[in-house]
Amino acid sequence: MTQQKTTGSRGVDVRLPLRIDTPDDWATRALEETCLLLNDHAHLEKKAAQNALELLHRWPEPTPPDNWVVAMTAVARDEVEHLALVVRLLSRRGGRLTKSHSNRYAAALRGLIRGDGLEQTIDRLMISALIEARSCERFEILARVAEDEPLAKIYRGLWASERGHYLSFIDLARQVAALEGPAMVERVESRWDEMLDAEATIIQSQAPGPRMHAWVE
């Protein structure tokens, strides 16, 4: 499987599985309306925390992977901390968190989730991994492109955390599959490959704008 190479803001070689790179032009345009971008980002952190808490009690029966609860609570804690950080930055810049928010990118990815049971749980973990991987890539680009140093500093501090969340979710998906045996492991790897292709199509279909998961014209 081809891994996208992203060099993090600290010069660390970060390998992500994404099939399409985001052009820097996305960040240039998004940063023209910083408060709208930060509002969108804050809502994404809130939804990410909610997702981790929902998954916390959806472990596969009869026995979840040993690190399931620890991993989910760690992700939820991180996302709430990131939410508070972004909301503070938004407020300092004269913005306010809106009540309503939609994310067509995440909604399209969730549309890939199958029926119920174990396959649904694995799909949810993989969709979560995809969103975290794409966000990691976007944070790294913002850290490089932003001329506003306080903003760049925030994103330099966040991309590594997002990468850790991506790894946690995809590792848990593989651990759950391993509990079912080699045949399930093989099916999950094939499914992951399909989802990576689908994500590349979905992200490129998004309208441009000051949103974390927008595309470019």
Q: Tell me the percentage of the chain whose pLDDT exceeds 90.
A: 83
Task: Report residue 6: phi and psi, to 5°.
Answer: -125, 125
- Domain parsing of the chain, residue ranges: 27-204
pTM for the complete prediction? Answer: 0.92
**Domain 27-204 annotated CATH 3.40.1110.10:** no
pLDDT of residue 4: 53
Please determine, for residue 6, whether its predicted confidence score (pLDDT) is greater than 80: no
3-state helix, strand, coil in the chain (%, to 5): 70, 5, 25
pLDDT of residue 179: 87
Q: pLDDT tens digits for 30-87?
A: 999 999 999 999 999 999 999 999 999 888 777 778 899 999 999 999 999 999 999 9
